[in-house]
Amino acid sequence: MNYYIVTDEVFNTLTKGNISFMLKSIDTSKRIVITSDEVSNNLHTFVNTTALSEYTITNTSDWVGDGNGVEEITFDEIKYIPEIDD
């Protein structure tokens, strides 16, 4: 799998069936995406869910309102459902 932060515009071009996780930033301008696709026009690339989680903990104002970041286990427990993201 590949772990990215992409803009909303880039997200709209991705193959939704290949996405296993997606989380919008608080301002909805960016998205965390875990996908089997390779995305060259991303904002950030991470080697694994640990690095991605650490990034959200350091940059909490973009991702969560509670100041704690996104725990690594969240990336495995929550699955992306394309139908709800219109």
Give the mean pLDDT of the chain. Answer: 88
Q: CB of 21 within 8 A of CB of 72?
A: no
Question: Within the chain, how many helices (H) and strands (E) appear?
Answer: 4, 4
Distance CA 61, CA 37 (A): 27
Residue 64 structural domain: 2-81
Domain count along the chain:
1
Residue 58 in any domain: the answer is: yes
Assess if residue 70 is contained within a domain: yes
Domain assignment of residue 72, yes or no: yes
Q: Is residue 17 part of a domain?
A: yes
Assign 3-state DSSP to the chain and report helix, strand, coil percentages, each to 5.
Answer: 35, 25, 40
Q: What is the pLDDT along the chain (86 residues), one digit of tens a residue?
A: 999 999 999 999 999 999 999 999 888 899 999 999 999 999 999 999 999 999 998 877 787 766 678 888 888 887 777 666 65
Predicted confidence at residue 85, as pLDDT, reads 63
| 75 within 8 A of 21, measured Cβ to Cβ | yes
In a domain, 86, yes or no: no
- CB count, 10 Å around CB of 66? 7
pLDDT reported for residue 8 = 92
> What pLDDT does 64 receive?
74
Q: What is the pLDDT of residue 86?
A: 53
